[in-house]
Amino acid sequence: MSGGHFEYKHHYMQDIIDSIQKEIDCNNTPNEEWYYNNFNADTIQTFKEALYHLNNAYNYAHAIDYLLCWDTSEDSHRKFLSNLFKK
């Protein structure tokens, strides 16, 4: 497994991203174990905005981790970020 400069702690961001996405997906949806929250559309929108920024933060941290461990070169690092944010 590549990377490791940050001791893979940036992957905790992915757990947060997944948790927020679950709240969006299950908003106002009964479940056998639990009734999920009933957030209004404005709150759900803020969750979606948070996901956008958290995903960017995760991708930056992941890319920098690879660069600092010399798994990628500076040129490929810049190309990766350039391609990532063209989307």
Read off the pTM: 0.75
Q: How far apart are CA 24 and CA 37, in angstroms?
A: 9
Q: How far apart are CA 28 and CA 52, in angstroms?
A: 22
Cβ pair 51, 17 in contact under 8 A: yes
Q: How far apart are CA 53 and CA 4, in angstroms?
A: 22
Q: What is the pLDDT of residues 17-37, one digit of tens each?
A: 999 999 999 888 876 666 668
Most confident range, picked from 51-60, 62-71, 76-85: 51-60
Q: What is the pLDDT of residue 58?
A: 92
